[in-house]
């Protein structure tokens, strides 16, 4: 299980526009957007780490995402992630 504090830190780092651009570059470098059938063993290891990075952000169902979908994928990732319980409590307390 991933430490909730680490999840919060990772979200804060990558939820900004600049952070999302950086995440897209990191995921690209790790081969996350590559087609799995063409991957070599080293590529599989890098893609596995990319999947682990996404799990730090709370994304638990990674699947193949084509190269042309990179920006939309990263934006949708943050638009659709549920808030962690402690952030949901803060948001509800503010009445947002």
| Confidence (pLDDT) at 73 | 72
DSSP class per residue in 3-45: -HHHHHHHHHHHSSHHHHHHHHHHHHHTTTTS-GGG--HHHHH
Q: How confident is the model at residue 52 (pLDDT cuts 50, 70, 90)?
A: confident
Distance CA 34, CA 38 (A): 8
Average pLDDT, stretch 22-36?
84
* Domain parsing of the chain, residue ranges: 4-94
Structure-model confidence comparison of residues 63 and 15, the more confident one: 15
Tens digits of residue pLDDT in 60-81: 655 656 666 666 777 777 676 5
| Confidence (pLDDT) at 84 | 57
Distance CA 14, CA 22 (A): 8
Above 60 in pLDDT, residue 25? Answer: yes
């Amino acid at each position: 299980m991933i430490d909730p504090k680490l999840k919060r830190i990772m979200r804060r780092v990558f939820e900004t526009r600049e952070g999302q651009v950086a995440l897209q570059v990191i995921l690209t470098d790790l081969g996350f957007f590559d087609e799995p059938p063409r991957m070599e063993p080293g590529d599989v290891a890098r893609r596995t780490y990319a999947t682990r990075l996404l799990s730090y952000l709370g994304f638990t169902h990674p699947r193949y995402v084509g190269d042309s979908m990179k920006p939309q994928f990263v934006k949708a990732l943050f638009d659709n992630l549920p808030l962690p319980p402690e952030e949901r409590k803060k948001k509800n307390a503010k009445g947002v």
